[in-house]
Amino acid sequence: MSNPLQLSHENYYSQEAGRVYMSNSQLKVWGRCEAMAHAQFVTGEWVPKSRACFEVGKYVDAGVLQPDGWADDMARILHDHNGVFYKQDGSEKADKVRADKMISRALDDEVAQEWLAGDQQVILVGEIGGMKWKAMLDVLNLALGWICDFKTTRSLGKVWAYRDGRRRYMPWYDQFGYLRQLAVYRELVRQVYGVLCEVGLCGVLNDDVPWCDVLRFGGGIDEVLDAHMKVVELECERVLEIRAGA
Q: What is residue 182's three-state secondary structure?
A: helix
pLDDT at position 246? 55
pLDDT at position 76? 84
117-140 mean pLDDT: 97
pLDDT at position 212? 95
Distance CA 200, CA 186 (A): 11
For the cut 50, the answer to whether the pLDDT of residue 1 exceeds it is no
For the cut 80, the answer to whether the pLDDT of residue 235 exceeds it is yes
pLDDT (tens digit, 9 = 90+) per residue, 39-58?
999 999 998 888 888 889 98
pLDDT at position 12? 94
DSSP state letter for 22:
B
Parallel/antiparallel/unpaired status of strands 146-153 and 198-205:
parallel
pLDDT (tens digit, 9 = 90+) per residue, 202-228?
999 999 999 999 999 876 899 999 999
Q: Which of 50, 52, 57, 51 is nearest to 206 (CA)?
A: 57
pLDDT at position 68? 62
pLDDT (tens digit, 9 = 90+) per residue, 67-112?
566 677 788 888 888 899 999 999 999 999 999 999 999 999 999 9
pTM for the whole thing?
0.91
For the cut 60, the answer to whether the pLDDT of residue 2 exceeds it is no
Mean pLDDT score of the chain: 91
Distance CA 117, CA 157 (A): 24
Binned at pLDDT 50, 70 and 90, residue 159 comes out as confident
Binned at pLDDT 50, 70 and 90, residue 149 comes out as very high
